Amino acid sequence: MLQKVAISPRVLRTRAELEAYDPASESWQKQFARRYTHHSELKDVLNNMEDVNGTVYEKFAVSITPYMAQLMDPHDPNCPIRLQYLPSRHEEQKPGFDTLLDELGEEGDTVPGTSVVHRYPRRVLFLVSNTCSTLCRFCTRKRMVSQPAGSVHKEEIERSIDYIASNKDIDDVLLSGGDPLTFDDERLDYILGAIRERAPHVRFLRIGSRMVVQLPTRVTPELCAILEKHRVQMANIHINHPKEITPLLRERVKLIQKAGIMMGLQTVCLKGVNDDVDVLRELFMQAIEMGVRPYYVYSTDMVEGAHHFIVPYHRMLELYEGIRGWISGPAVPTFVVDGLGGLGKLPIIPTYVTEEIRRDGQGTTIKCRNYKGDTVEMPGLGLDFRVPSQSRA
């Protein structure tokens, strides 16, 4: 009797094959196996593609799902989807400032023997995987993502859950990586179940995932049932450009929402990709339209090989000014810089309200301006008015 041999799905090497491919026609695991892992595999799929030096791969791998490749403009080298995922010669150039592999200082806050980053008093980051379905060229965790040495072993995961269980002050746990959804349902079911069983004091359990956007077919009724069973309260997804919001993504986001899970949006401000007021307005309004609340817009981290994406601080202020007041309030996220070395998320906020000394020197007055530049003075806000006490008769 002949033994059946499993045949891995092949990479779609021509434009015609890619355009004919339906991501919903096969399991997410098979699409995951079809990923492009070298830019040369896309030479008959994309025109005007940069041919980078192979040494780029020594620092950071390439991984692109066919679904994401379908979203790339076949001719435009400045396509915002291409820029996020295709390697560039800029990655080997040296900027005029220091870049780091662990720009956020996470290793210094990692509990020894675990993959738990415990920086804040009552919440932790639990890194469960070093794998992603598609690799962002600006990834802040290049030190571990796609690197064999960055693998999170089962023993580390067990010690991490033990640490969370033993620390009763922890009430907020964020699963991230890599991407937690690269695990199969059984593994994810075990990890979430273990947290709920062994750490009942955890009040807020959430997952951060880019895979929902990069491979929407990963979101299945079975996955959503697991998330609902273990009371995962929030899923944060990562979208940088409106082109990433497709009918398939909208469909799978609805499955998550039907499981009773809040959804938030995280975005990285990237030069050439989304450092444009109109692009961000459209992105945030499309997100809120599908019930995903814009949460953070991060400055690009100063990690190795990502300096060409950095948007200057003054431009981020301009972008914020061009959004607040111009679109729905709930669609306006917080713009932040993730402070070097673990300083934390620091809000970037233009000055709309200032306190100044009054001309007569008697106290202060408050000067306000709105998104259109209209101004008004509110001296009452500068006073410490106290209601006089009444004497009893």
Q: Indicate which residue of 34, 35, 132, 210 is catalytic.
A: 132
Q: Indicate which residue of 136, 179, 189, 320 is catalytic.
A: 136
- Residues 86, 65: Cα–Cα separation, whole Å: 12
136 as an active site residue: the answer is: yes
The DSSP output letter for 260 is: T
Q: Indicate which residue of 35, 137, 139, 218 is catalytic.
A: 139
Query: Contact 280/323 with Cβ under 8 angstroms?
Result: yes
76 as an active site residue: the answer is: no
Q: What is the dihedral of CA 281, 283, 286, 289, to 10 degrees?
A: -70
- Please provide residue 303's backbone torsions phi and psi, each rounded to the nearest 5 degrees: -95, 155
- Residues 203, 6: Cα–Cα separation, whole Å: 43
CA 201 to chain centre: 26
Cα-trace Rg, the chain:
24
Q: Indicate which residue of 13, 15, 59, 123 is catalytic.
A: 123
Query: Contact 211/161 with Cβ under 8 angstroms?
Result: no
Q: Give the 3-state secondary structure of 15-39.
A: HHHHHHCCHHHCCHHHHHHCCECCH
Q: Indicate which residue of 13, 15, 59, 119 is catalytic.
A: 119
119 as an active site residue: the answer is: yes
338 as an active site residue: the answer is: yes
Q: Amino acid identity, residue 20?
A: A
Q: Indicate which residue of 22, 43, 51, 120 is catalytic.
A: 120
269 as an active site residue: the answer is: no
Q: Indicate which residue of 30, 89, 229, 345 is catalytic.
A: 345
Query: Contact 91/56 with Cβ under 8 angstroms?
Result: yes
Q: What is the set of active-site residues?
A: 119-120, 123, 132, 136, 139, 141, 301, 338, 345
